[in-house]
Structure 1
Amino acid sequence: MGKVAIESLGYRPKPIDPDFLTKYPETGTHHNHKVYAEGVQRYDEDGKPYPTKLGIHGTMVAVDFEACIADGACMDACPVQVFEWLLNPGKMGTGQDLDLSDKPELKAKYACDKSDPIRESDCIFCLACEIS
């Protein structure tokens, strides 16, 4: 599938909040990484409520699931394969995300597939995911 057109999302993602660790509660764990702000209403770049409340996954390698637009760039750049598609397990990289265009229930819940930092502990802090 590849990068989701921002216009099709119905909201404007904004960069991850650098203070998320202190600003939002830890709300759970997923694939051995912490999740913050799941279930918490947060707001997009225009100050409008995000349609989902999936939270921020990871601590050292943090992915804001509301802001993730399934472009796969972080996966393609990562030399140690920290990421995998949330809805297409075992797959990673551009074009390997699950196409939600014919899956209205998943589209309503997730908006698009998400880059899940399932191997966060393998991160070598090269920051390739951030600059990609």
Structure 2
Amino acid sequence: MKLNPYLSFNDECEAAFKFYEQCLGGKIDSMMTYGESPMAEQTPPEKLDKIMHASLIVGDTVLMGSDAPPQMFEKPQGFSVSLLFTDPVEAERIFDALAENGTVQMPLQETFWASRFGMLVDRFGTPWMINCDLPA
């Protein structure tokens, strides 16, 4: 079994996934608009260029997402996408990139369990936790 996060966006999926691709060093594997899908005829014209499904490969993990259908978007709550690092410099780089134009909930700092830990909500509304292991 594999567990992959699936994120919903309010018409910002394409921008978010392009940002995540660059920020996380991944590769967008697929990105289909509603207009390219078999549901094109049932989609309002203003939504045809919005993303029906996207997938981003980061290492051995796949992050997936889409723009929520009209009137179906709900603000993300009750979860975070958690990233685990072994290199504090890389953890800081990713935290800073995701935090740009977002909201830092807990600054990246040393804790009793981690050399770095921080929480934020990025500019697209996705909650993240950045954790960097203590040295062995």
TM-score normalised per structure 1: 0.30
Between Structure 1 and Structure 2, whose CA radius of gyration is higher? 2
Q: Of Structure 1 and Structure 2, which has the larger fraction of its residues in strand?
A: 2
Which has the higher relative contact order, 1 or 2, with Cα contacts under 8 A spaced 6 or more apart? 1
